[in-house]
Amino acid sequence: MNTPLLIEQSVKGRRGYYYPKTDVPSYPPLPANLQRESAPQLPEISELDVVRHYTRLATKSFGVDIGFYPLGSCTMKYNPRLHSYITSWDSLTEVHPLQDESTIQGSLELLYNLTKDLSSITGMSWGTMQPLAGAHGEYTGLKIIKAYHQSRNDHKRTKVLIPVSAHGTNPATASVTGFSIVEVATDTRGLVDLESLKSLLDDEVAAIMLTNPNTLGLFESDIREIAHLVHGCGAQLYYDGANLNAIMGISRPGDMGFDVIHLNVHKTLSTPHGGGGPGAGPVLVKEHLQPFLPTPDITHNDGYYSFEWDRIQSIGKVSGFWGNFLVLVKAYTYILTMGSDGLKSASEHAVLNANYLFTLLKGAFDVPHESRCMHEFVVSAQHYKEKYGVKALDFSKALLDRNYHPPTMYFPLNVSEALMFEPPESESVEVLEEFASTMIELTELAKTNADVLRLSPHSTAVKRLDEVKAAKHPILTWREL
């Protein structure tokens, strides 16, 4: 069922919306040589057609509000409806970022409190809410580390150590911030190989980027030893907070020895993914890195909140204003709602869910590691690829026909035909059991009728796409200019 493009529904002279009539005189326009030469060809549509268009498009999408979304490393938990109610308030939306400080005390207090709470949750000293996404937080964190080394006149530190199982943003961020990457091996337990690490540590290493639990869903139990070794050679530890949902209230990256961390509020703190954003990536640091945090900082004196701009060692600004404010409001609201007891319970149930689903599925798949997992786990469909020609991709596409969003595929890179599942704590035991029995059904189908999986999906709005054509001859706009 094809929904025509807006431009295909356009009718000359049709209009959706009328502004109030102007009540000031007309002024001579811009000089001719500065004026736009030809009008943009934008669609002319009635209001009802716009409403129908987007409402139809919305029915051709899938969200947590519709069904189970076990994407590993994404923490697709329920986005409380309370949040979108609150972020519709005028007292939040109608405030300009450059208003006089005395008139924005509410928003400043909220950001201050959020920074304080996130510091407490993670065991860090203070932070910044400016980064606009997780990867942006990584960028900010590495800039801080670079500034720190330079402040100590240590200019040799050009390398960042990253496990091969790391999320792609880690090496990309290291590269963008001017570092070279050295890969750290994982051992047979699935954890950082300490011997490999020791051989790589020298005075040219600026930092190591880790996530804990790691991308295989395993807790890096040697983390204190790792921290000791890394600090011992003068480097810093960076924590990628993507997997924080496993350990809130149970263990804190600050206590593990990390110097700087970022959080993904659109994962751990329930803010909506929005089809790919906006999220936010607050960065929290230990005291020795506080001077390098982006400017401005938010300070508090006797009940009055202010911006602090006078910060000589700061790395500067990483984004325009003060962060993705409305997204941060949702994160703060979530913390208020859950509280110390609720956040701990969330992590406990996330880990419970993952272990339960792992128990239900592990008989049917190869597992890279037998041990229990934390909030997510990885299985491999390698066996089905070899014996029946059914790959991880085929399992995923078959799930689409059964109203599930598939798990993460082909990540981490060091597991072949990987499928990574993360069933967040907002999913009930019934959802997990139904999902597991569907997955088992698919494994049976792989053995008896592999084509059903290989040719799926069958019942979705469109079938498998010609990705090659899209990449070879990209068409990225509705008309060629």
User: What residues between 78 and 117 interact with other proteins by CB under 8 A?
Assistant: 78-80, 82, 84, 86-100, 102-107, 109-110, 117
Tell me whether residue 195 or residue 462 sits nearer to other proteins (CB atom). 462
β pairing state of 205-210 and 180-184:
unpaired
Phi-psi region of 73 (alpha: psi -120 to 50; beta: other; left: phi over 0): left
Q: Does 359 sit near other proteins (CB under 8 A)?
A: yes
| Segment near other proteins (CB under 8 A); pick from 164-172, 192-200, 232-240, 382-390 | 164-172
User: What residues between 194 and 213 interact with other proteins by CB under 8 A?
Assistant: none
User: What residues between 5 and 64 interact with other proteins by CB under 8 A?
Assistant: 5-7, 14-20, 22-27, 29-31, 33-37, 39-45, 47, 50-51, 53-64
Instruction: Read off the amino acid at residue 368.
Output: P
Q: Does 324 sit near other proteins (CB under 8 A)?
A: yes
What's the CA dihedral at 170, 174, 180, 181 to 10 degrees? -10
Q: Does 355 sit near other proteins (CB under 8 A)?
A: yes
Q: Which of 124, 135, 390, 445 binds other proteins (CB under 8 A)?
A: 135
Q: Which of 226, 318, 398, 418 binds other proteins (CB under 8 A)?
A: 318
Tell me whether residue 228 or residue 447 sits nearer to other proteins (CB atom). 228
Q: Does 65 sit near other proteins (CB under 8 A)?
A: yes
Omega into 31 within 30° of 0, i.e. cis?
no
Alpha-carbon distance values, 68 to 37, 103, 358, 396, 431 (Å): 50, 43, 16, 13, 7
Tell me whether residue 18 or residue 152 sits nearer to other proteins (CB atom). 18
The torsion angles phi and psi of 120, rounded to 5 degrees, stand at -65, -40
Residue 296 Cβ, how far from other proteins at the closest point, in Å? 11
Residue 29 Cβ, how far from other proteins at the closest point, in Å? 7
Q: Which of 201, 208, 256, 398 binds other proteins (CB under 8 A)?
A: 256
CA 126 to the chain's CA centroid? 21
Tell me whether residue 257 or residue 384 sits nearer to other proteins (CB atom). 257
- Angstrom distance (rounded) from CA 297 to CA 306: 8
Residue 451 Cβ, how far from other proteins at the closest point, in Å? 14
- Angstrom distance (rounded) from CA 317 to CA 139: 12
Residue 290 Cβ, how far from other proteins at the closest point, in Å? 17
Number of Cα atoms under 13 Å in the Cβ half of residue 100: 2
User: What residues between 417 and 446 interact with other proteins by CB under 8 A?
Assistant: 425-429
User: What residues between 175 and 194 interact with other proteins by CB under 8 A?
Assistant: 175-178, 180-181
Q: Does 330 sit near other proteins (CB under 8 A)?
A: no
- Angstrom distance (rounded) from CA 194 to CA 210: 13
Tell me whether residue 15 or residue 231 sits nearer to other proteins (CB atom). 15
| Segment near other proteins (CB under 8 A); pick from 230-238, 348-356, 414-422, 442-450 | 348-356
Q: Does 152 sit near other proteins (CB under 8 A)?
A: no
| Segment near other proteins (CB under 8 A); pick from 230-238, 246-254, 384-392, 445-453 | 246-254
Residue 427 Cβ, how far from other proteins at the closest point, in Å? 8
Residue 211 Cβ, how far from other proteins at the closest point, in Å? 14
Quote the Cα angle for 472-474-478, to 5°.
Answer: 160
Tell me whether residue 185 or residue 360 sits nearer to other proteins (CB atom). 360
Q: Which of 73, 165, 173, 290 binds other proteins (CB under 8 A)?
A: 173
Q: Does 385 sit near other proteins (CB under 8 A)?
A: no
Q: Does 312 sit near other proteins (CB under 8 A)?
A: no
Closest CA to 452 of 380, 374, 400, 386: 400
DSSP, residue by residue, 191-231:
SB-HHHHHHH-STTEEEEEE-SS-TTS---TTHHHHHHHHH
Alpha-carbon distance values, 275 to 2, 62, 237, 241, 454 (Å): 20, 9, 31, 20, 27
| Count of residues that bind other proteins according to CB under 8 A | 206
For residue 209, the cross-strand partners are: 238
Tell me whether residue 371 or residue 447 sits nearer to other proteins (CB atom). 371
Spatial neighbors of 138 by CB under 8 A, at least 6 apart, are 169, 170, 173, 209, 238, 240, 262, 281
Alpha-carbon distance values, 292 to 210, 231, 314, 372, 432 (Å): 21, 19, 4, 39, 45
User: What residues between 440 and 479 interact with other proteins by CB under 8 A?
Assistant: 457, 460-472, 474-479
Residue 100 Cβ, how far from other proteins at the closest point, in Å? 6
Tell me whether residue 47 or residue 203 sits nearer to other proteins (CB atom). 47
CA R_g for the chain: 25
Tell me whether residue 199 or residue 340 sits nearer to other proteins (CB atom). 340
